[in-house]
């Protein structure tokens, strides 16, 4: 018996595209749709609606597990998701795992017991055993799992931001304003994009990357302060949400004004950054939340579910915190 995998292979498209063609998604190009339908007819393939209904007990309930509850970035995603899902008759159950794998595991069990249809979360694990346990459990579940800001598991839908592109855009902006002595703090997963901006102009970052994510707030404060006093950067690029405020606190203690004494660029927009007119690398949160909602809604009509993987591009928001020092 032919499957959608056979159709996808012969049509030269992904499983997701085949699935979306059968539900007449307008994003599928007409020529692609016709090719998929022709191959499906030749193979005698038809979606299995009965199997789809058996897989899904439609309670119209979605679970959302937040790992960083004090991050306004995730709270904005939560608000947008809740609003959009409510418009379609869904309810959202929200839980906080406090970035703790064991707590997240317990919450997952509780949400499964509550018969949610889908769970949106950022997978947490300490080692390979925990990662494999989580994978096996998800594979054996009837729940649809959507990875938020993560693509750890290829078998499940993922929604991410291109953080390296964001770091690249930020570094390139600072370099274009004449800055070379830039202090970058936080966000080890964003170093590649940062260094790429330097490589394009034929130089290396003047200062070592400051990885502060595993330290306490007090330790990070001292490290940032010491780095500023020792290296005397002309600009700071804070590329983690918790580092934005901490780095600005250090500048305040040192009586350094932005941008007169030092330029400042942050990652993830927030109201206090908007109020102080700080330039930031922003993210299309509405687009991400909308994409997640569309994915969840598609489960009502999908006949065979295949994981989608969507990456959203960040963008530069210029305000008044970066001073040009070009000569």
Q: What is the pTM of this model?
A: 0.77
Closest CA to 291 of 161, 114, 96, 138: 161
pLDDT for the residue 4: 82
Chain CA centroid to CA 145, Å: 15
Instruction: Give 46-61 pLDDT, tens digit per residue.
Output: 765 444 444 445 678 9
Question: pLDDT band at residue 304, thresholds of 50, 70 and 90?
Answer: low
Taking a C-beta distance cutoff of 8 angstroms, is the pair 65, 118 a contact?
Answer: no
Query: How high is the pLDDT of residue 147?
Result: 96
Tens-digit pLDDT profile for residues 129-155: 999 999 999 988 889 999 999 999 998
- Return the pLDDT at 49: 47
At residue 326, the pLDDT reads 76
Domains of the chain listed by start with CATH number: 4-47 (1.10.260.40), 58-161+284-313 (3.40.50.2300), 163-283 (3.40.50.2300)
- Separation CA 254–CA 97 (nearest Å): 36
Is pLDDT at 302 greater than 70 in this prediction?
no
Three-state SS across 211-256?
A: CCCCCCHHHHHHHHHHHHHHHCCCEEEECCHHHHHHHHHHHHHCCC
Look at 50-64, 72-86, 91-105, 252-266 and tell me which has the smallest mean pLDDT. 50-64
- The tens digit of pLDDT for each residue in 61-72 reads 999 999 876 777
Q: pLDDT tens across 147-196, in order?
A: 999 999 998 999 999 999 999 999 999 999 999 999 999 877 788 999 99
Question: pLDDT per residue over 193-222, tens digit each?
Answer: 999 999 999 998 877 666 665 568 888 899
Residue count (the chain) = 327
Q: Which residues, in sequence order, are CB contacts of 94 under 8 Å at separation 6+?
A: 63, 64, 66, 78, 82
- pLDDT (0 to 100) of residue 51: 47
Q: What is the mean pLDDT of the chain?
A: 88
């Amino acid at each position: 018996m032919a499957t959608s995998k056979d159709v996808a292979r012969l049509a030269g498209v992904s499983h997701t595209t085949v699935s979306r063609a059968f539900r007449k998604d307008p994003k599928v190009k007409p020529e692609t749709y016709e090719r998929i339908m022709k191959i499906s007819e030749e193979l005698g393939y038809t979606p299995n609606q009965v199997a789809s209904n058996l897989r899904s007990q439609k309670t119209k309930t979605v679970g959302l597990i937040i790992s960083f509850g004090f991050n306004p970035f995730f709270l904005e995603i939560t608000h947008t998701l809740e609003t959009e899902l409510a418009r379609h008759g869904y309810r959202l159950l929200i839980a906080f795992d406090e970035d703790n794998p064991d707590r997240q595991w317990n919450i997952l069990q509780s949400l499964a017991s509550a018969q949610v249809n889908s769970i949106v979360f950022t997978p947490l694990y300490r080692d390979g055993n925990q990662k494999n346990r989580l994978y096996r459990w998800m594979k054996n579940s009837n729940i649809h799992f959507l990875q938020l800001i993560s693509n750890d598991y290829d078998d499940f839908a993922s929604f991410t931001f291109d953080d390296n592109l964001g770091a690249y855009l930020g570094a390139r902006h600072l370099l274009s304003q004449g800055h070379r002595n830039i202090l970058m703090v936080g966000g080890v997963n964003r170093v590649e994009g940062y260094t790429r901006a330097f490589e394009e102009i034929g130089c290396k970052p003047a200062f070592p990357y400051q990885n502060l994510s595993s330290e306490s707030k007090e330790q990070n404060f001292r490290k940032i302060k010491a780095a500023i006093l020792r290296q005397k950067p002309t600009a700071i690029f804070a590329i983690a949400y918790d580092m934005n405020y901490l780095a600005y606190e250090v500048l305040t203690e040192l009586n350094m004004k932005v941008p007169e004494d030092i330029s400042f660029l942050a990652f993830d927009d927030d109201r206090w950054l908007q109020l102080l007119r700080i330039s930031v690398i922003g993210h299309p949160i509405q687009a991400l939340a909308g994409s997640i909602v569309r994915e969840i809604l598609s489960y009502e009509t999908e006949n065979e579910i295949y994981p989608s993987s969507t990456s959203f591009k960040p963008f530069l928001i210029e305000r008044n915190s970066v001073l040009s020092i070009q000569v």
